[in-house]
Chains A and B, each alone.
Chain A
Amino acid sequence: MNGPHDLGGQMGFGLVAPEKDEPYFHDEWEKRALGLTLSCGAFGAWTIDESRHARENIPPADYLSTSYYEIWMRALEVLLDRHGFATAAEIDVGHKQTAGAVPKRVLKADMVANVLARGGPCDRPVERAARFAVGEKVRTKNFNPQTHTRLPRYARAKNGVVEAVQGSFVFPDDNAHGKGENPQWVYTVVFDGREIWGEGADPSLTVSIDAWESYLEPL
């Protein structure tokens, strides 16, 4: 979707502000926000794609004026309500009101090390051969779905070259919406800076994205 998250090439956000010796967390609640998000992710009720979509659905003015972990918490509340684990009313009151849904698993302290070390690999085999080969010229599709996609706006309807076939992975555009993993091939596609940014672009710049097969057409 064309949400506030799709920031590549937008202007007006000012200078990057690196912080010397930046701490991992700037407030105690940020620690709990990280831990809550990972713990609730372990329920197995939603995918990383659905959680990304919940974040990009935050209205633009809110998204852009909200700190990162706050965006996470707003999205987490949506997911918990959608999947029946906790309602907004319960969070308003700060106490349990109903039993709610039962998750596939609850993350306990003694499970944390293994769960973090294992992660959530999302490579999946597909039976058909890759449609595009290294060195092939391709064009990205021009679409503006209201649903989740990982093809950034700046890289739509652009000509590029397949630089690598990266394997086959869960397709986020479907997986975010409960339509299954539907894995497909992913390619690193490299674009000349001038193809994307046009007149005045840095002539020494190339940009690449990792694109699922259905984002691409032969050129």
Chain B
Amino acid sequence: MQARVKALETVLTEKGLIDPAAIDAIVETYETKIGPRNGAHVVAKAWSDPAFAEWLKSDATEAIASLGYTGRQGEHMRAVFNTPKTHNLVVCTLCSCYPWSVLGLPPVWYKAPAYRSRAVIDPRGVLAEFGLTLPAEKKIRVWDSTAELRYLVIPERPVGTEGLSEQQLAGLVSRDAMIGTAIASAPGAGA
């Protein structure tokens, strides 16, 4: 595959259709600038600022843009909030739709058939494979990203986090918690 991709890049460069430095810039952006810490910031702010949480519920695109997170695969955002009664899980059964602007590029498992096929029919089994066992009485809501809306799960705020700063709170939020395959970490446990 390396050779085929190199050949394609050479052909397009010779034709003046691409700028290899632009490809470098794209890769650098997603390797170093746009990743799950954007989303963790959104979650921590939602936990510590009720007005922001309400804004997220009513217009996630604008609320998230107010923190500077906009753009490709985050043009239309929706935030879904975990509650004591309901756990949210996000999938794209048809391809790999994912909120790049807040979580960066999706992991391989999110794009792979095992997750895409089973998240909608056996979410509890899938969650168990991530080490997450939810109480039987907790309802599971699966969001299949079939249109251009991109979903961000806002996990429940862990107990014992009163008085933590926004930055400390963000440290409790893993990427998987914002997809719904994990929950936020307890203080001291690390994300």
Residue ranges of A at the interface with B (Cβ–Cβ < 8 Å) = 5-11, 13-19, 22, 24-29, 31-36, 38-40, 43, 52, 55-56, 64, 68, 70, 73, 76-77, 80, 85-86, 90-96, 99-100, 103, 106-109, 111-113, 115-123, 150-152, 154-155, 166-167, 169-170, 186, 188, 190, 196-197, 201-202, 204-212
Contacts and interface: CB of A to CB of B under 8 A. Distances in A.
A217 B19 CA distance: 47
Interface of B: 1-2, 4-12, 14-19, 21-27, 29-31, 34, 70-76, 78, 91, 93-96, 101, 104-105, 107-109, 111-118, 120-124, 126, 129-130, 136-149, 176, 181
Given A7-B113, A15-B114, A111 B146 contact: no
Contact of A73 (B8, B109, B181): B8
A120 B114 contact: no
Task: Determine chain A's interface SS by DSSP, over half rule.
Answer: mixed
Contacts of B14: 95-96
Given A119-B72, A209-B146, A112 B121 contact: no
Contacts of A208: 141-144
Given A16-B129, A24-B30, A68-B111, A152 B25 contact: no
Q: Which of B30, B34, B120 has the most CB of A within 10 A?
A: B120
A16 B94 CA distance: 17
A91 B11 contact: yes
A36 B117 contact: no
B26 A152 contact: no
Contacts of B112: 13, 16-17, 68
22 contacts: A8-B91, A9-B120, A9-B121, A15-B114, A24-B31, A34-B30, A35-B23, A38-B72, A39-B17, A39-B19, A52-B94, A73-B1, A80-B12, A92-B7, A109-B25, A116-B72, A117-B71, A117-B72, A120-B75, A196-B121, A202-B122, A209-B144
